[in-house]
Each structure stands twice: as C-alpha cells, then as structure tokens.
Amino acid sequence: MNIFPQQNSLGTVLIVDDVLENLDLLSQTLTSQGYQVRCAKNGYLALMSIKHELPDLILLDIKMPGMNGYQVCQNLKENYKTKDIPIIFLSSAYETEEKIQAFAVGGVDYITKPFEVAEVLARVNTQMGLLKTQLELKQLNQELEKRIKRRTDELERLNQELRLENEERKKIQEKLIYDALHDSLTNLPNRTLFIDRVKMLIRHCHRFPSFQFAILFIDLDRFKLINDSLGHHVGDRLLVFCGQLFQKCVRESDTVARLGGDEFGILLDNISDVTHAIDTAETIKMQLSKSSPLFNHHFSPSASIGIVIGNYQCQNATDLLRNADIAMYRAKEMGKARYAIFNQELHQQAIQRLEIESDLKKALAFNEMLVYYQPIVELQTKRLKGFECLIRWQHPKKGLISPLEFIPIAEECGLISSLGDWVLQESCRQLKQWQTRYSHHSELSINVNFSPKQFEDIYLPQTIHNVLLDNELEPHHLNIEITENVFLSNNITVSKILSQLDKLQIPISLDDFGTGYSSLSYLHRFPIGVIKIDGSFIRQMQNHNKYLEIVKTITTLGHTLGMKIIAEGIETERQLHTLQELGCEFGQGYFFSKPLQASVAEKLIQISNKD
C-alpha cells in the first residue's frame, strides 16, 4: 500500500463504481479533503489500476456488470500484495445477508446507497486513521525490532567478549596454578607439588598398609663451582639436562621435581621394597657418568642421593623429605657421587647436628669459643717461629668439641664468617700482647686458617687489614692459611682477594697440600709463599717409601718455586731428621707440642729462643 506517499496527502483512495455520478461526487468530496483519488468503472479496470499502483483504501461498489464487488474483493484477498488493503463496500441493498457477505469476503465497512457525504467522509477518515495508526504501530514495531536486534547483537557481542574474557581468565588462572606448582626453568613439578603428591601417597598408605613408596633426594655435586666458573647459563643447561635425564630413569607414574637450586626429588610410586629405589639410584649414577651435557667443557656431572622409604607408619610429608635430605648429606660425606639410605642412626645424627647448630649460634655470645696455639718451629735451629691458631669450643654441657664437628656445620648454616672474624681478632690481639710483653719475640707470627666460604666475601682483605691496624701488627706477622678447596669456588673472586692480600704483603700458606684437588697451576697462578705438607704423608714416610718420595717431591717443588715448606704432624725425632735432611724449613706436631691454651703457650714463649 502507498500510505500517504505524496506530500500533504491524506492517502490514496480508489473508487470503484459503475455509476459515473457516484464516481464524480465521491472523487470531488475526497479530493477536497486532501485525498488522492483514482477511479475505476468496473472490477477489471479496478484490478488493473491496483496492479499498477496500490491504493491505501478502496471504496468498492458491490453490484457492477461483469465482476461484482465480492469477486473483486476475493481476488484482492487472495493476493499477498493486496490482501491488507481495507475495502469499504458501497451498496443500495439493505439486507443483512448482503452486509454479512461483505464482511465475510474481507470488507472492513459497509455504506448503504444513497449515501451521505458526511457518512462517507467519516468512514473513510476512520479507516485512514486506523491505517495511519497501523502504520505508526508497524513503524514502532520495526523500530523496536531494530532496537531489540541491536541490543541482541550488542548482548551477543558482550557475551562473546565475556566468553573470551572468561576463557582468557581461565587460561591465566590455569597458568598461574601451573606456575605456582612447577619450576620455570625445567618445567618440572616444584617442591609444593612434590610435597602434595607425597601427602597423597601417605594417605594411600594409611588406607592400604602394604603399600610403599620411596623418595630420592638428589643434589648435584660441585654445582656451585660450575655456576661460578662457567657461568649461570651453563648451570641452567645442566639443570635442564639433569631434569630430563632423571625423567628417563623412572616410570611415567613416578614424579620428578626440582626442589630448588641444584636439588631434585624423585617420588617412586608403589614399590615392593627398597631394591627398586636402589636400582633407580644406580641407574641415575650410571647415566650421569655416561653423559656430558656441557659441550666444550671437560665435565661429567655427578649427584649425591638420599633415599627414604614411605609406608603406613609415615605421618608427615615434610619429615620424610627432611629424612631424605639427611641421607643425601650422608652420601656427600661418604665422598659424593653415591647414595645413602635413611635410618634411625642418621636421624639421631641429624638431631645432634641440629643441636650443635642451635648451640653454635649462642657460643660466641656466651664466650664459649677458645683459641689454642700450636707452635711452629724452625727445624734446623728448633727455634720458635710462631703459632698456628686453632679454634676450640668449650661447650657448657658437652665439654671440649673438636672443630671437625662444628666447622662444617658453621659453614653450612652461615656462621663461619662470624667464627673466622672472631678467631682472627682474638689471635691478633693475643699476638700483639705477647710481642709487647716479650721483646725478644717481636717477630713472632701467627697462622690463621680461613674457610673457602670466607673467600666468597670480596671485602675480606679490608677486614683483615682493619684487624691488623686495630692491633698494630705488621702484615708479615699474620699468615693466611687456605686449603685447595678455596680454588674450587669462584676463581675470579678468589683471585681478586689473593691479589689484594699480596698487595697488603700478607703471606699466604697452602695447607694440607697433596690431599685435595692438587693442581700445580695453583702454585704459579696465585701468590702462595708457603706450602704445608699434610701430616698423613709425614707419619707414613718412614714406613712407606712412596710417601717419602711424595714429601721429597713437594719440598723440591716448593723450593724451585721460591716457597718455604712447613711439615705438619711431626711426631718422632726420626721424622725431624729426615725433614732436616730434605731442607724443610719449618714444622709442627706433637713432637714439639700439642695445641696449647693461651696461658700455656705464653709460658713456652717465656722459655724459648733465649740466647
């Protein structure tokens, strides 16, 4: 329909009537009211006109020659394009049946002839008003549908964004959970996830008492040396390599985790006995020995492994992991590159170790530490040259504790620097006191041992220099004793420290030479002035010729390089004579004196070297 297509038009009305007077009257009337009017004298012309252009309203006479109004109406109602055009029938018939039929075929109103113009206008206006209202409703519905569609599209877009956001959030949450439970370098489970799985197996053991599992606590040997000497990138490559190797040594049902640093854990699920754990440890040892992941570096990795068995008696995952750690440390003490199985004896040793660590933290504050002094003698004249300063711990309950027991623990728990600083300060204070009291011993010197851990502190030379200044000692009165283990740490840091000590004119002695990772390169690369031959060689050189040859070789080597020699562990006069013949300058040992308390050492000073 063309509802009001023309500007200022109230609409288009098609008048169909075979009486020209009716056509003229209705046309003039409607035109004068602002309607566009078209006329047709019969049904056929009307259909043709409608086909050409749809009117908004039809005034249709019923009784016409050829095709009557009912037939025209039926024709229009059967066409989907014209079925909604409102039709007002015009008829001179007053019969009710006529009106009923008119409405039955689809008419919307009925005007009886002769008609009143006012009535026609009223009915036409009513129908046009209805049409306008319908049009407005239709437009409103269309607009509403458009708004609904826009809103639906917007909601769909928002829903899609929300779905994508939820998916992204889910991925982020999953990644956060994964990252929280896995090691970023190796992508292995971390300590948290490992302990969770241990807890799960403990609960399983409680439900099924015959069920067993094992934990292997693995620590890579000499990893810090690799990191410090070859760089962290090489250390990272080694960690990734070892993680992958460990996974190949176990079943898919087992768990390999990186617990932190160079420590790994393996959880062996459902084992029959400890043999399975031992076989796994042996496999790891063998595979590591055959592997060399550090290209261009002559290095084969090794590991120390602690084993603990889990069963229905276990209650705590953390305790199990601690026990495996204890067994691992036992493996390291046994010589590294091996495994140890946890037992109650190790547990008791660990408790004692913790007690020592706890007491050690209080020992300095409570003045429980002592310095003992073992004389160092010039072998040709037997004159007193100085003392090696040795720390002792006078425990209030356990008595005198050997440094062999507490020094390794002090190194592990970070107390060695405090102990070392105290020994240095106390020894220098004591030496200055002796030099002041006994003028004939003004050149007396002391040898102070330093741990490899202390050589990780780049400020060590300044600390030593300050102590010498505080006690008004000359640098040559202090000899720094180090072992070959110092060179296994960061060579750059060690080299800088030794170089600074050399500039300060503080002598360096290499202790226990021949017992560690002996390398002749150390002797010419670093400013070492004295070699101390380990007592194990001295004690055996009278009984085994090879030990005598070792002592000869070390002495000759030292003299060739311009170094002095101190022999440790001299216990017999025969040993003394042999060392004198070899040209060894200095010595110490029970033949001369055991380590002495300061008061006893002072008495020795009083009576010695008096001409």
The whole-number pLDDT of residue 560 equals 92
| Of the ranges 130-134, 227-231, 491-495, the best mean pLDDT one | 130-134
Count CA atoms closer than 13 A to 232's CA, side-chain side: 2
The whole-number pLDDT of residue 327 equals 93
Q: Which long-range contacts (C-beta less than 8 Å, at least 24 apart) are formed by 226-231?
A: 226/294, 226/299, 228/489, 228/490, 228/491, 228/492, 228/493, 229/490, 229/491, 230/294, 230/297
The whole-number pLDDT of residue 518 equals 54
In this structure, whether the domain defined by 12-138 belongs to CATH 3.30.70.600 is answered with no
What is the C-alpha separation between 582 and 549, in angstroms, rounded?
11
Are the folds of 12-138 and 191-342 the same? no
Q: Looking at residues 334-344, what average pLDDT do you find?
A: 88
Residue with tokens 């390999």: 256
Kindly report, residue by residue over 73-102, the tens digit of the pLDDT.
Answer: 999 999 999 999 999 999 887 788 888 898
Dihedrals phi, psi of 309, to nearest 5 degrees: -100, 135
CATH number, span 355-605: 3.20.20.450
Kindly report, residue by residue over 242-261, the tens digit of the pLDDT.
Answer: 999 999 999 999 999 999 99
Least confidently predicted of 361-375, 400-414, 466-480: 400-414
Largest CA distance in the chain: 168
The whole-number pLDDT of residue 599 equals 95
Kindly report, residue by residue over 490-524, the tens digit of the pLDDT.
Answer: 667 888 999 999 999 999 999 988 765 555 777 87
Task: Report which secondary-structure segment, H or E, holds 560.
Answer: helix 545-560
Tokens of 12: 């288009």
Kindly report, residue by residue over 542-592, the tens digit of the pLDDT.
Answer: 888 899 999 999 999 999 999 999 999 999 999 999 999 999 999 999 999
Confidence check: pLDDT of 292 > 80: no
Q: What is the 3-state secondary structure (H, E, C) of 195-262?
A: HHHHHHHHHHHHHCCCCCEEEEEEEECCHHHHHHHHCHHHHHHHHHHHHHHHHHCCCCCCEEEEEECC
Kindly report, residue by residue over 114-127, the tens digit of the pLDDT.
Answer: 888 898 999 899 98
The whole-number pLDDT of residue 249 equals 95
Question: Which DSSP symbol is given to 485?
Answer: G
Q: Looking at residues 588-611, what average pLDDT do you find?
A: 89
The whole-number pLDDT of residue 436 equals 92
The whole-number pLDDT of residue 138 equals 86
Our CA angle for 459, 465, 470, nearest 5°, is 125
Specify the higher pLDDT residue, 185 or 610. Answer: 185
> In sequence order, what are the beta bridge partners of 334?
none
Kindly report, residue by residue over 423-463, the tens digit of the pLDDT.
Answer: 999 999 999 999 999 988 888 999 999 999 999 899 999 99
What is the C-alpha separation between 76 and 83, in angstroms, rounded?
6
What is the C-alpha separation between 124 and 128, in angstroms, rounded?
6
pTM: 0.61
Do 84 and 1 meet the contact criterion of CB atoms below 8 Å apart?
Answer: yes
Tokens of 25: 């009257």
Kindly report, residue by residue over 145-179, the tens digit of the pLDDT.
Answer: 898 989 888 898 899 989 998 999 999 998 889 88
Overall residue count recorded for the chain in this entry: 611
- Integer-rounded Cα Rg, in Å, for the chain is 54
Cβ partners under 8 Å of residue 459, min gap 6: none
Confidence check: pLDDT of 4 > 60: no
What are the residue boundaries of the structural domains of the chain, listed by start?
A: 12-138, 191-342, 355-605
Confidence check: pLDDT of 189 > 90: yes
pLDDT confidence bin for 314, thresholds 50/70/90: confident
Q: Is 177 helix (H, G, I), strand (E, B) or coil?
A: helix
Domain topology for 191-342: Alpha-Beta Plaits (3.30.70)
The whole-number pLDDT of residue 226 equals 80
Confidence check: pLDDT of 57 > 80: yes
Q: Which long-range contacts (C-beta less than 8 Å, at least 24 apart) are formed by 38-41?
A: 38/12, 38/13, 38/14, 39/14, 39/15, 40/14, 40/15, 40/16, 41/16, 41/17
The whole-number pLDDT of residue 182 equals 93
Q: Looking at residues 225-235, what average pLDDT do you find?
A: 81
Do 524 and 563 meet the contact criterion of CB atoms below 8 Å apart?
Answer: no
Q: Which stretches of 379-490 are DSSP H helices?
A: 403-413, 416-437, 460-470
Average pLDDT of the residues of the chain = 90
